[in-house]
Amino acid sequence: MKTHIERNTVQETLVIPLYGRKLCTEQFPNLFRDERAVELIERIDYDFSALEKRAKSTAYRFGALEVAMRETDLMIEAKDYLAAHPFAALVNLGCGLDQTAENCDNGTCKIFNLDLPDVIAVRNTLLPESKRVKNIAADLNDLAWFDRIDATNGVCFLAAGVFYYFKTEQIKRLFPAMAKRFPGGRLVFDAAGKRAVKIMLKTWVKEAGITSISDYFSVDGIETDILPWMKHATVSSRGYMLGYNDLKDPSVPGLFRLMAKIGDGLMKMQIVRMDFTEVCRVLKPGGTFLICNESDGTDETGLKFEKIIDGMKCHTAEELSAALKAAGFSGVTVDRYPKKPWITVLAKK
């Protein structure tokens, strides 16, 4: 029996991105496949005629590609975390009917899907819980949901299209609290610059009677908009559309690749990754953390092995120093061996 979805309801807002993932699976199968979305669409009783008509437009097709690339990007980061923490928790924040975490399931991780109560009610009907999958009704701004997450073996948080609707002051409270509660965890989310956020929220802001869009979270650059207040995490970002995939697949029109460049460039569309610091938390006050490395990140041998060993990265002394300071260490000193590219880095807590 199919689940009926009424027009002009909260449930309908869950169907639209789901249909986008189905559309992208059909039109760009070499780049993206979400068979779970295709299967779920078949179980929903809803008049898709309006969406099918819109799906013929260039703007809608590119929007579907954006949704697909975002999910692919988040999956890459989640799978990278699970490779090092196979029994970790994957937490999908503001999940809707999205199954990104389930698409990353390695058979041993735990999965937690969080959203508001009316959304979780629909999810429980269409995507009920299982032994390792829990659906949690929660307001992300009420930090009581922290207690519902089993992060014993690590945790990776994913958020797709969520934080555009948060005020900056809410984000400045939420992220540091997550870093403090879940050291060693990871948060991955999509963000965009002020120009893009203003465009995306234009209709919603008008309907909500909001007068100042500048209060809402945007990221023109992590150096200016995140690092000054996010002290206990290593923060990095990559292009939303082209940071993980060059989109040179024959199914992607040249116009879409141009639009992707504009999105990542002018609009500052990006995937932000935060790795919550762990070593600084474990060390006692006054403790010293030592790094010894036979490569300073600039020597030919080290750079050669980066190309040979998948995932290997030889960091420069400057990069290590900056990362340690961002993690909360002070008194970072670097010593270099004069005749070889050997370095030692000392950091005090």
DSSP-assigned states of every residue in 15-27: HHHHHHHHHHHHH
Please report, in tens digits, the pLDDT of each residue of the chain (349 residues total): 788 888 877 778 888 888 989 999 998 988 888 999 999 999 999 988 988 998 889 999 999 899 899 999 999 999 999 999 999 999 999 999 999 999 999 999 999 999 999 999 999 999 999 999 999 999 999 999 999 999 999 999 999 999 999 999 999 999 999 999 999 999 999 999 999 988 877 765 555 455 567 789 999 999 999 999 998 899 999 999 999 999 999 999 999 999 999 999 999 999 999 999 876 666 677 788 888 988 888 888 878 877 788 667 788 888 888 877 766 677 888 888 888 888 898 888 7
C-alpha 115/C-alpha 101 separation (Å) is 14
Task: Return the structure tokens found at 132.
Answer: 């390792």
C-alpha 346/C-alpha 138 separation (Å) is 42
Among the listed residues 3, 220, 230, the one whose alpha carbon sits nearest the alpha carbon of residue 122: 3
**What per-residue confidence (pLDDT) applies to 147?**
97
**What per-residue confidence (pLDDT) applies to 265?**
95
Residues 6+ apart with CB under 8 A from 111: 89, 90, 91, 92, 101, 102, 105, 132, 133, 134
Query: CA of 283: how far to CAs of 93, 203, 288, 324, in Å?
Result: 30, 49, 8, 13
Dihedral over alpha carbons 213, 214, 215, 220 (to 10 degrees): 120
**Kind plus residue range of the DSSP H or E element containing 153:** none
- Across the strands, what pairs with 290? 346
Residues 6+ apart with CB under 8 A from 260: 241, 242, 247
pTM above 0.85, yes or no: no
**What per-residue confidence (pLDDT) applies to 203?**
60
**What per-residue confidence (pLDDT) applies to 227?**
94
